[in-house]
Amino acid sequence: MRIPDVAPGARILAFGHYQPTNIVTNDDLAKTMDTNDEWIQSRVGIKERRIAPANESEIDMAVQAGGKALAGSGLAAADIDLVIVATCTLESQIPNAAARVASRLGIAAPGAFDVNAACAGFCYALGAASAAVRSGQATNVLVVGTEKLSQWIDWTDRATAVIFADGAGAAVVTASDTPGIGPVVWGSAGDKYDAIIIKDRDSFLHQEGQTVFRWATTALHPVAREACERAGVDPADLAAFVPHQANLRIIEAIARKIGAVNAVIARDIVLAGNTSAASVPLALSRMIERGEVQSGQLALLLGFGAGLTYAGQVVEIP
């Protein structure tokens, strides 16, 4: 008896994304709270966001995004043997999202689990998917980030209501003769866990904005650079930098510090808002759709958020 051979690498076959149709502008928010377009754009960079209706769940959005990624991959549902869903906004924690998403997509009897690393969730899940493929534990993996943050927001609180939004993004991961997903660099700062928190099932999301801003703009650029180093990539060779879409000022501050001088910087937050675990795949999927990046180029992904958690890796664009 011998241990089966394992794949030398994993790569992404396709991305997919989904956003609710309902657009909420800054002027819309100004009708119900003390805020205005200039105030919101100057602080977080958002012009508008998508908010799901009451009858559209994070599972519904995950199915839409996952279905698009699956269709783009050229694989059939029967080819998927592992589904990982990154989310922190489920109304009900049991059963998990992954099994429900798999069933609705016609994926029979896959391994199925959820990841709650908040806004870093997709990058965590992608790291887990890559490891599963390379170790031989899975052949093809559907990875989804999906969030319905609107159901956890106090819509009279301008500190959070102007920032968060709903949506989903997904990717299909498979084995590769050469690595197309670099080593994940991940970690946490649990001593700051209460900087972003939902205290209990009867509470709304609360965020200490200045604490998160200082942490993100000082602690995360070394993580991004380490992800490049571990992948053997010079930041100047990156075609895209796709960080979590938390705040436009945070995005631009990190981008300046990592030396990705030739990269297109994802600024999806302007029209999509902060969609937590969905934001990285949503932003990159939309960049690919618009033709801003090309197949075979390299992108640096960087997720960070509640926990406080962070994770990043370099990927080859499918």
Number of Cβ within 10 Å of residue 311's Cβ equals 27
Report the DSSP pairing between strands 82-86 and 23-25.
unpaired
Is 244 considered catalytic here?
Answer: yes
Is 119 considered catalytic here?
Answer: yes
Three-state DSSP class for residue 307: coil
DSSP state of 278: G
What is the amino acid identity at position 219? A
**Which residues contact residue 252 at a Cβ distance below 8 angstroms, ignoring those fewer than 6 apart?**
265
By CB neighbour count within 10 A (0-12 exposed, 13-18 middle, 19+ buried), where does 38 fall? exposed
CA dist., res. 247 & res. 108, Å (int)? 39
DSSP state of 291: T
Question: Using an 8 Å Cβ cutoff, are 227 and 183 in contact?
Answer: yes
CA dist., res. 80 & res. 204, Å (int)? 36
Single out the catalytic residue among 17, 116, 119, 140. 119
Three-state DSSP class for residue 315: strand
Give CA separation, 82 vs 23, 152, 172, in Å.
33, 29, 10
Tokens found for residue 308? 């406080």
E strand segments, 66-165: 82-86, 111-115, 140-148
Tell me the helices (H) and strands (E) count for the chain, helix number first.
11, 14
Residue among 162, 169, 159, 223 nearest 196 (CA): 159
Single out the catalytic residue among 88, 221, 244, 247. 244
Tokens found for residue 253? 């501050």
HSE-CB of 122 using CA atoms within 13 angstroms: 35
Q: What residues are labeled active site?
A: 119, 244, 274
